[in-house]
Amino acid sequence: MRLDIHVIAMAHPADMSGLEDRIASGEIAPDTIICILGKTEGNGNVNDFTRGYATLAFKHALGNALGLPPAEIGNRVALIMSGGTEGVMSPHCTVFCRIDDGARGQAGRPRLAAGISFTRDFAPEEIGRAAQIEATALAVRDAMADAGITRAQDVHFVQIKCPLLTAERVHDARKRGHDVATEDTYTSMAYSRGASALGVALALGEIVAPVDDRAVCRDAGLFSARASTSAGIELMRNEIMVLGNSDLWSGDLVIGHDVMDDAIDLAAIQRALRMVGIDPAAPSAHIAGQVVAILAKAEASRSGLVRGQRHIMWDDSDIHATRHARAAVAAVLAACVGKTHVYVSGGAEHQGPDGGGPVAVIARTG
């Protein structure tokens, strides 16, 4: 069993040509796909419909390829679209294929492993609260089991797609007599991401006690060093993919991670590169050849400072803070790995320390 990864450029959110070409050529067997992680070119915020657009296109493309109704695709493939490709970041998708080739992993030679799971649909009033945290923690453990990973320390990245509140969903909760975590639709994305990340932290033992509703988006001391959560309008449940190393898996890919302390923490990225055997001082083109994917979270620090100097990300009413932060972090990552097919998703509430976030690198071994 091995995990194959295909990074495919997209000319627009519904551009299926790269995927369809690889399926046509036999390079990708569609029934092996367990997850597609997309970086689409919307604003990454409430009214980013590029995520839903890409999701719809993937459902139809995979439905065609598999001879299944589009509506069934969501039950077998985690389609996780993250909006926002600010600055140099290039729109693309990363296709994760689980190849059951009978090959066995070797003890002491752990290789990239993946598992997926879904929670139930949440009610609007559950988003950003304990109900979402707990359901997520259970689902993360399911995904670990699916990946054949038993130790939390072997998990290096947990990607989650989670829902947000719209004016209509708030209204719906109110009509049924419930309040919601926040009535600001943009802010609801932060609450949903934060609760989801706390679910990961709980599942991986990074925090221990149960978490109160009031800690969400307030107690920055609680965080996961491996969670990456992204909110979208197009779903009401959490969709989860766990990535780690396991010696049950074969192949030539490994994953490592580190935590960026702030948005310009070059040293953390270099440590993550070294963890998967790459010399960060090597020529840019060489590193670009070895790195298959780099995944990180970006966030404007709540302190209003980076290295003690003021940033304007929270006070800019024209461009949301998540967009500023993604542009910045993606450029630093791209400069380190020599390519712009980097995956940076915004809003790192409870994902790494304030203003920082996890960074994971998947690379070819030797």
DSSP state of 225: S
Q: Tell me: does residue 22 bind a copy of itself (CB under 8 A).
A: no
Q: How many residues bind a copy of itself (CB under 8 A)?
A: 77
Among the residue ranges 39-47, 94-102, 204-212, 246-254, the one whose residues contact a copy of itself (CB under 8 A): 39-47
Residue pair 159/240 in contact (Cβ under 8 Å)? The answer is yes
Query: Which residues sit opposite 291 in a β-bridge?
Result: 363
Among the residue ranges 112-120, 207-215, 223-231, 321-329, the one whose residues contact a copy of itself (CB under 8 A): 321-329
If the CB atoms of residues 28 and 165 are measured against a copy of itself, the closer one turns out to be: 165
Considering only residues 143 to 172 of the shown chain, the ones binding a copy of itself according to CB under 8 A are 166-168, 171
If the CB atoms of residues 246 and 340 are measured against a copy of itself, the closer one turns out to be: 340
Q: Tell me: does residue 32 bind a copy of itself (CB under 8 A).
A: no
Helices (H), ranges, the chain: 17-25, 50-66, 70-76, 130-147, 167-175, 185-203, 266-275, 284-290, 321-337
Active site positions, annotated? 161, 230
DSSP state of 49: T
Best CA proximity match to 47, nearest among 320, 341, 329, 344:
320
Among the residue ranges 74-82, 128-136, 152-160, 325-333, the one whose residues contact a copy of itself (CB under 8 A): 325-333
Q: What are phi and psi of 297, to 5 degrees?
A: -110, 150
Q: Tell me: does residue 316 bind a copy of itself (CB under 8 A).
A: yes
Closest separation between CB of residue 282 and a copy of itself, Å? Answer: 11
Q: Tell me: does residue 312 bind a copy of itself (CB under 8 A).
A: yes
The C-alpha atoms of residue 82 and residue 319 are separated, in whole angstroms, by 17
If the CB atoms of residues 277 and 280 are measured against a copy of itself, the closer one turns out to be: 280
CA triplet 236, 11, 29: central angle to 5 degrees?
70
Residue pair 345/297 in contact (Cβ under 8 Å)? The answer is yes
Q: Tell me: does residue 323 bind a copy of itself (CB under 8 A).
A: yes
Q: Tell me: does residue 327 bind a copy of itself (CB under 8 A).
A: yes
Q: Tell me: does residue 92 bind a copy of itself (CB under 8 A).
A: yes
Owner of token pair 């950003």: 128
Q: Which of 95, 158, 291, 332 binds a copy of itself (CB under 8 A)?
A: 332
